[in-house]
Amino acid sequence: MRMTTLTLALFPVAALAAGGGSMTPPEPSETTTVCAEGLVWDEATQSCLTPSESTNDDSARLDDARELAYEGYLQAALDVLETMEDQNDSMVLTYYGFVHRSQGNTDLGLAYYRAALRVDPDNILARSYMGQGFAAAGQMDLAQAELTEIRTRGGRGTWAEFSLRQAISSGVGYTY
C-alpha cells in the first residue's frame, strides 16, 4: 500500500511521516521487506517472529508499529502495539489513536488521543492527529483549538502544525 511516485508528486505532504518532527516516511526495515505479514523483525534473533514472541524493546516495537501503519498493515500495527510494556505511554496511546482513526474508528481514535494528552499534554503529535479527526468531522473550532495548543506548546513549524493546518484547510486528515 506504499504511495506511488505519482501520488507523491501530486500530494507531497502525504509523504510526511507520523513522527512529530520527521519529514520523511519510516525507512523500510526487515519487518516489511523480509517478514511475512503479521511478523516483525526481531533484532536479537535476526529472524521474523510474531509480535508477542519478539524480544525487541518498546522503542523498536514503536518503530515497527509506525512502519506497519505506513504500509497499510493496520491490524499488524495494532498487534505490535498490544505487546508494548507500557500501554499508558503517550506515544503508544497516540499510535493506537492513529491506527483506529485510519481504520475509520474516529471516536475510538479520539479517545486514545485524549488519553495520550492526559499522560503528556505537550504531545503535539496526538494534538495534531486529534485535530485532524476534528477537521475531517467538520468540527473546525475544535481543530483550530488544537492548532493553537500545538503552537502554544512549541510546535510552530513542525509537521504536527503543518499537517493540522492542511487538514483545517482541506477538511481531510492524514492517515499516511
pLDDT at res. 25: 65
> Is residue 9's pLDDT more than 50?
no
Rounded-to-integer distance, Cα 76 and Cα 48, Å: 13
> Which of 167, 159, 169, 161 has the alpha carbon at shortest distance from 22?
159
Mean pLDDT over 129-147 rounds to: 95
CA distances from 109 to 11, 47, 141, 157 (A): 24, 32, 19, 25
Burial class (CB in 10 A: 0-12, 13-18, 19+), 108: middle
Mean pLDDT over 1-19 rounds to: 35
Q: How many residues does the chain have?
A: 176
For 67-104, write each residue's pLDDT tens digit.
998 889 999 999 999 999 999 999 999 999 999 999 99
For 29-45, write each residue's pLDDT tens digit.
999 999 999 999 999 99
Mean pLDDT rounded to a whole number for the chain: 86
Mean pLDDT over 148-166 rounds to: 95
First CA to last CA across the chain, in angstroms? 10
pLDDT at res. 17: 40
> Is residue 176's pLDDT more than 60?
no
pLDDT at res. 47: 97
Q: Tell me if 110 sits within 8 A of 130, measured CB to CB.
A: yes
Long-range contact pairs involving 85-90 (C-beta distance under 8 Å, separation at least 24): 85/58, 86/58, 88/115, 88/119, 89/58, 89/119, 90/116, 90/117, 90/119, 90/120, 90/123, 90/126
Which residue type occupies 77? A
Other CB atoms within 10 Å distance of the CB of residue 170: 11
The pTM is what?
0.82
Instruction: Check residue 22 and report its DSSP letter.
Output: -
> Is residue 24's pLDDT more than 50?
yes
Q: Domains of the chain (ranges plus CATH)?
A: 5-170 (1.25.40.10)
pLDDT at res. 70: 85
